[in-house]
Amino acid sequence: TFLAGHGFPVAPFHGVPSPEALTVPAAVGFPCLCKTATAGYDGKGQWRLTGLDEVPVLQEQLRRLNQAHARWILEQFLSFEKELSVLVVRAADGDRRVFPVAENLHEAGILRVTRVPADIEPRLAERAATLAGSVVEALDGVGVFCVELFLMPDGRVFINEVAPRPHNSGHYTLDACSVSQFEQQVRAVCGLPLGEVRLLCPAVMANLIGDDLIRVGSGEGLTNLLHTPGAKLHLYGKKSIRPGRKMGHVTFLAEKPETAWSSALVLRRMLGNNELPKGTPQQGR
């Protein structure tokens, strides 16, 4: 309600304080998403509704969760054209930095690929960056914030969510920027001057999910990756592999965006995927 109350563009939504209160008002309509108000990420804690007959089924599912004081929201499903994200850094004195607009692609609600700069018109990138900066300013936030946006086919931009922290879609900054999102976070919260925001070259970041780590982290897969110009491998050192768990990422750097994109496609094929994920709507992860 904070964003809507401050006049920021968001999808029509409706609060659900209990399973019994689950109804779909006309302002939201079908299809829509029911999302947990807390602890939802990477596609967890959300359900899609396409008709009235599915409402009683979801009510029962929510009851079985047996979560005390749990709340949900219903949100109109937006058939967006692209999903964007913008990192905004703000200091306690109001000084602010905005990173280039990134374009994100998801599978099953989990971020798979981020490319920077986003493949959009400059005027749209400027609008997205301005909107993201205004949101963080309204929050009076300090630190790194990731503002996730939906770009609609008609050019409108809606806010999906705001992550008050360094974000997966900003991991490319470790290799492709003069100052990373993590260093910016330290500078902001410690009262140090914010660093410059400079994209050194186009980049594509590809997450390593679950068993991807096995294919890329050793043997022929690792050898092939290390032979790739501009490839930077990051492994997180997690002790166990689980489906859907982010185990690391690879950032591809290149002078031209299409070169970095092609390298990411080669990695996808190495992982058993013939193509990069399309911009299939994965609203409200």
Domain extents for the chain? Answer: 2-76, 82-270
Query: What is residue 285's predicted lDDT score, i.e. its pLDDT?
Result: 44
Q: How many residues does the chain have?
A: 285
Query: What is residue 284's predicted lDDT score, i.e. its pLDDT?
Result: 46
Q: Which parts of the chain register pLDDT below 70? A: 274-285
Q: Are 31 and 37 in contact (CB under 8 A)?
A: no
The DSSP call for residue 10 is B
For domain 82-270, give the fold.
Answer: D-amino Acid Aminotransferase; Chain A, domain 1 (3.30.470)
Query: What is residue 39's predicted lDDT score, i.e. its pLDDT?
Result: 75
CB-based burial, 62-91: b 16+ in 10 Å, e otherwise: beeeeeeebebbbbbbbebbbbbbbbbbbb
Query: What is residue 29's predicted lDDT score, i.e. its pLDDT?
Result: 96
Q: Are 49 and 61 in contact (CB under 8 A)?
A: no
Query: What is residue 1's predicted lDDT score, i.e. its pLDDT?
Result: 84
Q: Are 191 and 91 in contact (CB under 8 A)?
A: yes
For domain 2-76, give the fold.
Answer: Dna Ligase; domain 1 (3.30.1490)
d(C-alpha 213, C-alpha 222), whole Å: 10
DSSP E strand stretches across the chain: 13-16, 32-36, 46-49, 72-76, 82-90, 96-98, 102-107, 110-116, 143-151, 157-163, 203-209, 231-235, 246-253
Q: Which among 270, 174, 285 has a CA at the least distance from the CA of 226?
A: 270
DSSP bridge pairs for 106: 111
